[in-house]
C-alpha cells in the first residue's frame, strides 16, 4: 500500500524512541516513569515533561500501519478527536482579544438567519455545551448515515442542523453536541469572512510554530506519517471527517505539537491574561468543563494542581493532554487501538501525579 504525502507535510524526521529496548531521549526520572505506567502492548505515543524548562521525553510503540508493519514513532500523527474543541476555543478567544467576537453576545449578530431562540445563544454557551439547541446533526445521522459524507461547510451546516427548536433555555442543560461546535465554526467564518480552518491555521497553529498539526480530510488514513486506527479485532476503525465538524473533532497532531500549542497558549503571547482565565474557568461544575475542555485537580508530590485536561476520541483513536498552566508540566497520550478512555485517563493521571 502506497501512502500519500500530506499537503502540510514538513520534513518527517521519523523517531526511534520506542518502548523498552529501543533508543529514547535520555532522562533519569521521566523515562522509567513512562515505562512503569505504560502497558507493554501500548500502541501509540506517550510523552511527559516535568515543567516548561525540561525536555519533553517521548516513548513510542506498536504499529502505525499494521498491514505493512510500520512502527509508531515519536513523530507519528494521530487524529485527536475532541481535543480539537479546545484548539477551537483558543481560536475564538484570540478573536475575542482582537475585538472581532464577543463571548456573551447573541450569535444572531453573525448568523441572523437562525430562528430567534437559537440566535439568542452565546459563544460561551456553545463552547461549554449549554446552548439548549438540539443536536440536529446527530438526529440526521440516525436517519441516514450518508449525512456524514456531506461536503458542506459550517455555515451551511448551521442552517441545516442548528435551527431545531431548543429543548432548554440557554445555559441550563449540558449536551455534548456536534451541533454546538458547528455553530461556533459558522460564527468564526462569518466574523472573519474566510474558512474556519484557515483562521485556526493563521491564529493558532502558525504562531505556535507547529508543523505536524492540521485538519484531516477524506483519505487521511493513507497519508504518510499518519497512524491508522484499529479495533480490538485488528480491523481498521477510522472515522469520517466531514468539513462541517471541523471545530469539533477533525484535527490531527503529534505529542510534540500539542505541547507546543499549550506552551503558546499558557506561556506565550497567543492569548491575553483575560482570555487565559476564560479558558481555565470551569463553567459546568458537574462536568469540570470550561471552554472546549475540562479542568481537573490532580494531586502531585508538590501538592494539588489545577490542570487543563484535554481529551479526544474519534474512530479508534484516543488522545489526552494534561497540562499545568502554572509551570508547564505536561503529559500527552496518543493511541490508535480503541483503548477505553477511562484506561487512558488512568495512565495519564499516574504519569502526571508521579513525575
Straight-line distance from the first to the last Cα atom of the chain, in angstroms, rounded to the nearest whole number: 41
What is the pLDDT averaged over residues 28-45?
Answer: 86
* Mean pLDDT over each residue of the chain, to the nearest integer: 92
Of 137, 136, 118, 116, the closest CA to residue 126 belongs to 118
DSSP state of 38: S
This prediction has a pTM of 0.92
Computed from CA positions of residues 125, 130, 134, 135, in that sequence, does the dihedral angle turn out positive or negative?
A: positive
Is the model more confident about 19 or about 333? 333
Say if residues 132 and 173 touch (Cβ distance below 8 Å): yes
pLDDT, mean of residues 267-288: 97
Q: What pLDDT, on the 0 to 100 scale, is given for residue 31?
A: 77
pLDDT value for 9:
31
For residue 332, which phi and psi values (nearest 5 degrees)?
-130, 135
Helix intervals (H) in the chain: 30-37, 83-97, 116-119, 123-127, 136-143, 154-161, 178-192, 196-200, 206-208, 246-249, 255-266, 273-280, 341-353
Output 132 or 1, whichever has higher pLDDT: 132
CB 203 within 8 A of CB 91: yes
Contacts of 279 (CB under 8 A, 6+ apart): 89, 90, 93, 265, 271, 290, 291, 292, 308
Residues 218-222: what's their mean pLDDT?
94
Q: Which structural domains are found in the chain, ordered by start?
A: 30-83+198-353 (3.40.710.10), 85-193 (3.40.710.10)
Say if residue 351's pLDDT is above 90: yes
Q: pLDDT tens across 283-333, in order?
A: 999 999 999 999 999 999 999 999 999 999 999 999 999 999 999 999 999
DSSP state of 2: P
Q: What is the pLDDT of residue 264?
A: 98
What is the pLDDT averaged over residues 18-37?
57
pLDDT at 304: 97
159-180: pLDDT as tens digits: 999 999 999 999 999 999 999 9
| Per-residue pLDDT at 3 | 58
pLDDT at 101 over 80: yes
User: What average pLDDT score do residues 74-90 get?
Assistant: 98
Amino acid at each position: 500500500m502506497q501512502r500519500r504525502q500530506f499537503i502540510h507535510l514538513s520534513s518527517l524526521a521519523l523517531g526511534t524512541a520506542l518502548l523498552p529496548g529501543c533508543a529514547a531521549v535520555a532522562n533519569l526520572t521521566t523515562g522509567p516513569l513512562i515505562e512503569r505506567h505504560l502497558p507493554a502492548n501500548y500502541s501509540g505515543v506517550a510523552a511527559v515533561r516535568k515543567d516548561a524548562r525540561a525536555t519533553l521525553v517521548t516513548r513510542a510503540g506498536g504499529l502505525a500501519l499494521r498491514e505493512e508493519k510500520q512502527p509508531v514513532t515519536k513523530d507519528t500523527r494521530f487524529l485527536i478527536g475532541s481535543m480539537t474543541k479546545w484548539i477551537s476555543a483558543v481560536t475564538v478567544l484570540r478573536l475575542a482579544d482582537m475585538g472581532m467576537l464577543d463571548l456573551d453576545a447573541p450569535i444572531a449578530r453573525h448568523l441572523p438567519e437562525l430562528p430567534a431562540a437559537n440566535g439568542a445563544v452565546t459563544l460561551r454557551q456553545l463552547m461549554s455545551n449549554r446552548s439548549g439547541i438540539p443536536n440536529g446533526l446527530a438526529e440526521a445521522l440516525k436517519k441516514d448515515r450518508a449525512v456524514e459524507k456531506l461536503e458542506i461547510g459550517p455555515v451551511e451546516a448551521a442552517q441545516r442542523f442548528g435551527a431545531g427548536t431548543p429543548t432548554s433555555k440557554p445555559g441550563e442543560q449540558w449536551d455534548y453536541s456536534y451541533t454546538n461546535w458547528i455553530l461556533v465554526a459558522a460564527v468564526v467564518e462569518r466574523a472573519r469572512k474566510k474558512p474556519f480552518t484557515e483562521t485556526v491555521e493563521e491564529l493558532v497553529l502558525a504562531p505556535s510554530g507547529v508543523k505536524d498539526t492540521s485538519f484531516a480530510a477524506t483519505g487521511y488514513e493513507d497519508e504518510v506519517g499518519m497512524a491508522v486506527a484499529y479495533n480490538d479485532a485488528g480491523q481498521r476503525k477510522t472515522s469520517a471527517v466531514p468539513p462541517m465538524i471541523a471545530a469539533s473533532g477533525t484535527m490531527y497532531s503529534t505529542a510534540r505539537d500539542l505541547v507546543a500549542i499549550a506552551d503558546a497558549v499558557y506561556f506565550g503571547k497567543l492569548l491575553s491574561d483575560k482570555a487565559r482565565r476564560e479558558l481555565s474557568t470551569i463553567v459546568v461544575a458537574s462536568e469540570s468543563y470550561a471552554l472546549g475542555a475540562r479542568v481537573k485537580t490532580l494531586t502531585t508530590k508538590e501538592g494539588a494542581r489545577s490542570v487543563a485536561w484535554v481529551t479526544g476520541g474519534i474512530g479508534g483513536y484516543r488522545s489526552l493532554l494534561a497540562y499545568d498552566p502554572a509551570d508547564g508540566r505536561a503529559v500527552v497520550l496518543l493511541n490508535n487501538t480503541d483503548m477505553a478512555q477511562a484506561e487512558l485517563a488512568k495512565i495519564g493521571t499516574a504519569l502526571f501525579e508521579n513525575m
